[in-house]
């Protein structure tokens, strides 16, 4: 059985604007969101119990393993803190710098005003 067939069979609705995203709402305002990318599956749920039940069902039907709490997905790292979840791409940026041999380059902070609007000079070609 394919994962998308499994999700539709278990009352998930495929998102019309984002490819690979499925959502299931319940009467009690709980939700379960599935993000599917190639062979990775991200499960987001408002109820830990619902998530546990869902993981059990899907692992019975399809061959997969539970990697536990989210730490890395699609180039984004996730770190749980006391204030919530912090997302960053430090490892992704470092991998690019390593690949192009720029790990030892000097960093530079370029400050700019965010409200600046660029315009074409009417006198210039």
Over residues 27-78, the pLDDT tens digits come to 667 788 988 888 788 888 888 888 888 888 888 888 888 888 888 888 889 9
pLDDT digits (tens, 9 = 90+) for 78-90: 998 999 888 999 8
Residues 95 and 103: their CA atoms lie apart, in Å, by 9
Domain ranges of the chain: 1-66, 69-111
In which band, very low, low, confident or very high, does the pLDDT at 21 lie, cut at 50, 70 and 90?
very high
Q: Are 97 and 111 in contact (CB under 8 A)?
A: no
Q: Contacts from 102-107 at CB under 8 Å and sequence distance 24+?
A: none
Confidence of residue 124 (pLDDT cuts 50, 70, 90): low
């Amino acid at each position: 059985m394919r994962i998308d067939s499994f999700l539709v069979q278990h009352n998930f609705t495929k998102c019309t604007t984002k490819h690979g995203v499925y959502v299931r709402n319940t009467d009690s305002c709980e939700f379960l969101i599935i993000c599917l990318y190639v062979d990775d599956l991200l499960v987001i749920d408002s109820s830990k119990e619902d998530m546990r039940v869902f993981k059990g069902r899907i692992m019975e039907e399809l061959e997969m393993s539970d990697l536990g709490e989210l730490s890395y997905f699609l180039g984004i790292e996730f770190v749980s803190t006391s204030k919530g979840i912090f997302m960053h791409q430090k490892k992704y940026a470092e991998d690019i710098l390593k690949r192009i041999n720029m790990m030892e380059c000097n960093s530079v902070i370029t400050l700019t005003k965010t409200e600046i609007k660029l315009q074409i000079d009417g006198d210039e070609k």
